[in-house]
A and B are shown apart, each in its own frame.
Chain A
Amino acid sequence: MLAGVGLEAQEPAAVQFQLDGSTALAPRIGERIELLPVLRLLGAEVAFSPAAGTYGVQLGEHAIQFSPDRQYLLVDGRLEDAGEKPIASPGGVAASLHFLERSLLAPLGFRLEPADAGFLVVTGARAVRIVDVRPVVADFATTTTLVLTLSEQVKVELVQGERKLTFRMTEAEPRLDTSLSLRSERVKDMASRGSELIITLSRGVGLLSWHQLDDPPRLTIELGKERAGPPPTRQEAVEQVAVAVVIDPGHGGSDQGAVASSGQLEKDLVLQIARRLAATLESRGYTVRLTRNGDEERALTDRTAVANRRNARAFISLHANSSKVAAVRGAETYYMSLDKSATDAAAAATARAENEPSGVPVASSPLNLILWDLAQAEVLNESARLALGIQNHLNNHLGLRDRGVKQAPFVVLTGATMPAALVEVGFVSNPDEEQLLRDASHQQLLAEAIALGVQEFLAGS
């Protein structure tokens, strides 16, 4: 056991570290501390190469090379970005406690821990990886989706307490990104402590499901009204709700969508095509779920919530188009746009939010919605690949001139945590195309084209 004591002078001149009864004093250099006394306390061999300007640290099977004024270092042969530069100092080299812990101690099998009295303690441990965790939260009408994007994949287990979810990482420590404002009516607080990430829920809120996903490594957590019975485990949740594709027939209920001059309604046409697409994909072994399978009204945000909750691998929203220009025709595919203004606005809004009193209504907060775009940002390249694949097959099947795919901030795609695309199957305002869209064989042609695009995407992901 190694303990370090911060000297509580007016201006502490040094930090004292202890390891199994031995002590070392690391003088402070401004915000930094001298590194060499700590490394020697560990029993590491430290050598400086004047020719290369680098320090070599050897302890057991581990070897680290680093240099003053360089933020990259070699750890057991791997190049790592420390995110900050150590500096040359009177004692040799100095850096922050964060650099010492993350870039030197952790690879050598040690870590710093706060002691009861608030002093630093270094304990011998297995090498601990620091995993950055970026949280994004979105409140929907009855549920909340929380996405925790991890800098690398780690083994995670969940321990549930009363209004508390504790995600425990194996041989890794979460480091929560607190630069993003996190406001949710169902998540009260989130914090990382040691190997644990602790989420405190609001009163009456419980865990509905959670999943661990790859590309990028992330945890998706679905919260809602607390319910009786055993809490869901990750395995049960995946077995119950694993769905490859969620298909969203646009509009529904009192929202009719576009209306053709013949009286044909967009909401009915897209439901017919969605059912054909679902049947086509299911016949090829895919699991499919529709956001509506009848003439039901669905809030736009709840449509992606279905896909998030069901752990879908792709989300396809189907629509039929309408234009005042009767000659316009053709099918098109869109995916979400995240332009610079949105990210700039998010940064500005985050700064503003820091100065605002708490209790701002979450659902109406533009900050919340802008930040939520970041969920789709994580998979934007995949969304582009999905949209391109679908459009290519639509072009081939329907003999369309390739106009590529377009990007725009569609409400229904906002908040999808998986690759998502919106397909406009054609214009009901064009009498010829409207007649085609009602035709069963044309509907099947559209379903086949979209299914091929989805299949190609799923096979390649």
Chain B
Amino acid sequence: MKRRVLWIAAAAAASVALLSLLVVMALRTPARKAAETPTMTPVVPTPAPEQRVILLFAGVDDLLHPELRSVPYPAEVGERARIVVSELAAGPRGGLHPVFPYSVQVRGVFVDGRGQAFVDLDPPSEPLTGSSTELLMTYAVVNSILLNCPELDTVQLLFGGREVKTLAGHLDLSRPLSLNKGFIATS
């Protein structure tokens, strides 16, 4: 009997020791992993190669004219579309005229998996007037994106994160728009 009790006591002591060891190891493992992290090679994004993009700005003939500009040209289509819109918003560098009639902020550009881009812009602080203003601004964005991102089919403009029916009372902006060459100068 006494011998049996000793066996039980020894087995219990061994179990406690094993459990303690497991707990200590479990607690120490994350610390060891954390300590390993700084030794890993950091991932540095590969800079996008420079390439010339086509940006459309307004001419005195009330049509869109191309300006070629060397910019980082990411392979990812959403990022490329964002760069195109940002460059448009920054305005022309040559003799052409801006297409945005106000100082616009690009809130976001994203693409879905079905070839459609959404461009979210700050809304104008005052109502826009003239169909020309509305048409050139809209088709400068739509055409510039689609010319530089052949993976995409359509572009829809959003203002302040929302879909709008129209900005100046002419063009229907509540729909995705496709390339419209009618507003691009041919000469």
Interface residues of A (CB under 8 A from B): 250-251, 255-259, 266, 300, 319, 321-325, 327-328, 330, 332, 334, 337, 339-342, 345, 366, 369-370, 403-404, 406-412, 414, 422, 424, 427, 429
Report whether B60 and A341 are in contact in the complex, using a CB–CB cutoff of 8 Å.
no
Q: Which residues B137-187 have CB closer than 8 A to chain A?
A: 139, 153-154, 165-166, 169-172, 174-178, 180, 182-183
Report whether B133 and A341 are in contact in the complex, using a CB–CB cutoff of 8 Å.
no
> How far, in angstroms, from A410 to B180 measured CA to CA in the complex?
14
Report whether B176 and A300 are in contact in the complex, using a CB–CB cutoff of 8 Å.
no
Residue of B101, B136, B139, B170 touching A412 (CB-CB under 8 A): B170
Report whether A324 and B129 are in contact in the complex, using a CB–CB cutoff of 8 Å.
no
Report whether A411 and B169 are in contact in the complex, using a CB–CB cutoff of 8 Å.
yes
Q: Determine the residue in chain B with the shortest Cβ distance to A424.
A: B131
Interface residues of B (CB under 8 A from A): 58, 60-62, 97-98, 101, 129-133, 135-136, 139, 153-154, 165-166, 169-172, 174-178, 180, 182-183
Contact status of A337 and B180, CB under 8 A, knowing A324-B98, A409-B171, A411-B166: yes
Q: Determine the residue in chain B with the shortest Cβ distance to A251.
A: B169
Query: Secondary structure at chain B's binding surface: helix, strand, loop or mixed?
Result: loop
Complex A-B: 7 CB contacts under 8 Å: A322-B130, A339-B178, A340-B178, A341-B178, A409-B171, A410-B131, A411-B170
Contacts of A323 in B (CB 8 A): 58, 62, 130, 132-133, 136
Residue of B60, B130, B132, B175 touching A409 (CB-CB under 8 A): B175
Contacts of A256 in B (CB 8 A): 129
Contact status of A427 and B132, CB under 8 A, knowing A251-B169, A410-B171, A411-B172: yes
Report whether B182 and A407 are in contact in the complex, using a CB–CB cutoff of 8 Å.
yes
Contacts of B180 in A (CB 8 A): 337, 339, 407-408
Report whether B175 and A408 are in contact in the complex, using a CB–CB cutoff of 8 Å.
no
Contacts of A410 in B (CB 8 A): 131, 170-172
Residue of B58, B153, B165, B170 touching A325 (CB-CB under 8 A): B58
Minimum Cβ distance to chain A for residue B177 (Å): 7
Contacts of A424 in B (CB 8 A): 131-132
Report whether B135 and A328 are in contact in the complex, using a CB–CB cutoff of 8 Å.
no
Contacts of B139 in A (CB 8 A): 408
Report whether A258 and B177 are in contact in the complex, using a CB–CB cutoff of 8 Å.
no
Q: Determine the residue in chain B with the shortest Cβ distance to A428.
A: B130
Contacts of A324 in B (CB 8 A): 58, 97-98, 101, 133
Contacts of A370 in B (CB 8 A): 175
> How far, in angstroms, from A411 to B153 measured CA to CA in the complex?
22
Report whether A322 and B166 are in contact in the complex, using a CB–CB cutoff of 8 Å.
no
> How far, in angstroms, from A330 to B60 measured CA to CA in the complex?
11
Contacts of A300 in B (CB 8 A): 166, 169
Q: Determine the residue in chain B with the shortest Cβ distance to A342.
A: B175
Minimum Cβ distance to chain A for residue B114 (Å): 8
Report whether B175 and A345 are in contact in the complex, using a CB–CB cutoff of 8 Å.
yes
Report whether A345 and B176 are in contact in the complex, using a CB–CB cutoff of 8 Å.
yes
> How far, in angstroms, from A328 to B136 measured CA to CA in the complex?
13
Residue of A340, A345, A411, A429 touching B171 (CB-CB under 8 A): A411
Contacts of B166 in A (CB 8 A): 300, 411
Contacts of B176 in A (CB 8 A): 341, 345
Q: Determine the residue in chain B with the shortest Cβ distance to A414.
A: B172
Minimum Cβ distance to chain A for residue B137 (Å): 10
Per CB-CB distance, the 7 closest pairs between chain A and chain B, nearest first, are A322-B130, A258-B129, A406-B182, A341-B178, A409-B172, A341-B154, A328-B62
